[in-house]
Amino acid sequence: MIAPQFATAQAVTVVENKPKQVTLSSRDLSIRFGGHIAVNQVSADFHAGELTVIVGPNGAGKTTYFNLLSGQLMASTGQIRLGEHDITQLGAAARTQMGIGRGFQLTNLFPHLSVLENVRLAAQSRANKGFRLFSIWSDHAELIERAEACLQQVSLYHRRHEQTAILSHGDKRKLEVALMLALEPDILMFDEPTAGMSVDEVPVIINLIQAIKQDQQKTVLLVEHKMDVVRSLADRIIVLQDGCLVADGDPSAVMASDAVQQAYLGKRPNVITTREHDHA
């Protein structure tokens, strides 16, 4: 059962909750944009060694919830905890330093630098060497090695010396993932990581996430619309609808639950594969 302190006034279908180490959690988390409550009292625990997929119709509040957890947006009310720490008031940079990795937006890339340089900078910020005036060669070589390993993981190594600006959309999305890997986060958040990728590019990312989730120290959160991807990766699914968490638990049970059936207007849950961009 869900821990009592996380119970909310909403009708939440808790199908299953395994006793695992809670790493990241939100409690009664809400954000209001004018008169619109985009995330409405969402309480959820995320666990080490578990991959949670967040599903829900377009506009349900999934990205906004991610933005609240990662610090891109500040909550109107509620609390976010990372381990023992209340991080509700911390900004995105502080949360990154504490181990929350959020897929970078394309705008965070330095377009005129090479692919490798972009990842090396992320590795450098992880190593906390950004303010050192002098860096010995071995440090530099280590960072390059680390950056190259990240590029290999996303199948971009062969493009490492190219200028970032000329990469295709799919390759830029892979680069975003490489930047996140370079930060070596404990919590990895992917928001539709394969959106806009060609069909043959998708397995690289899926296999990578599959590999990451084998690490029992990592907590993985994934927003995904493609139901085949959801089925292949999810240890657990939570469902958002109109900003509210309406289901949380074991994938097969959640997908079959009344809450999910209702969330998709009485249709089969795979209605969420009908996003416009999936047909692009």
Ligand X SMILES: Nc1ncnc2c1ncn2[C@@H]1O[C@H](COP(=O)(O)OP(=O)(O)OP(=O)(O)O)[C@@H](O)[C@H]1O
Site for ligand X contains 120 (CB under 6 A): no
The least distance separating Mg ion from the CB of residue 52, rounded to whole angstroms, comes to: 16
Site for ligand X contains 196 (CB under 6 A): no
Residue 59 binds which of Mg ion, ligand X, none (CB < 5-8 A, kind-dependent): ligand X
Nearer to ligand X, 86 or 228 (CB): 228
- Label residue 61 left, alpha or beta by phi (over 0 means left) and psi (-120 to 50 means alpha): left
Residues in the chain: 280
> Which token pair is 158?
């062969």
The least distance separating ligand X from the CB of residue 211, rounded to whole angstroms, comes to: 25
Tokens 């795979």 belong to residue = 270
The least distance separating Mg ion from the CB of residue 259, rounded to whole angstroms, comes to: 20
Nearer to Mg ion, 143 or 246 (CB): 246
The least distance separating ligand X from the CB of residue 56, rounded to whole angstroms, comes to: 6
Nearer to ligand X, 164 or 241 (CB): 241
The least distance separating ligand X from the CB of residue 279, rounded to whole angstroms, comes to: 14
The least distance separating ligand X from the CB of residue 277, rounded to whole angstroms, comes to: 9
* Exposed / middle / buried, residue 137 (Cβ in 10 Å: 0-12, 13-18, 19+): exposed
Site for ligand X contains 110 (CB under 6 A): no
Pinpoint the alpha helices (H) of the chain. Answer: 62-70, 92-97, 115-127, 137-153, 169-182, 202-212, 227-233, 251-256, 258-263
Nearer to ligand X, 39 or 116 (CB): 39
The one-letter amino acid at 56: G
The least distance separating ligand X from the CB of residue 113, rounded to whole angstroms, comes to: 29
Residue 56 binds which of ligand X, Mg ion, none (CB < 5-8 A, kind-dependent): ligand X
Tokens 């008169």 belong to residue = 35
Nearer to ligand X, 77 or 152 (CB): 77
- Restricted to residues 31-50, the positions that interact with ligand X (CB under 6 A) are 33, 38
Q: From residue 153, give the alpha-carbon distance in Å to each of 165, 166, 185, 209, 264.
A: 21, 20, 15, 10, 35
Nearer to ligand X, 62 or 159 (CB): 62
Size of the site for ligand X (CB under 6 A): 10
Nearer to Mg ion, 182 or 230 (CB): 230
Which of 148-161 are b and which e, b meaning 16 or more Cβ less than 10 Å from the residue's Cβ? bebbebbbbbebbe
* List of residues contacting Mg ion (CB under 5 A): 62-63
- Restricted to residues 47-66, the positions that interact with ligand X (CB under 6 A) are 56, 58-64
Question: By 3-state DSSP, what share of the chain in percent is helix, strand and coil, each rounded to 5?
Answer: 40, 25, 35
First to last CA, the chain: 41
Q: From residue 131, give the alpha-carbon distance in Å to each of 126, 183, 268, 275.
A: 12, 17, 53, 44
- Footprint of ligand X on this chain (CB under 6 A)? 33, 38, 56, 58-64
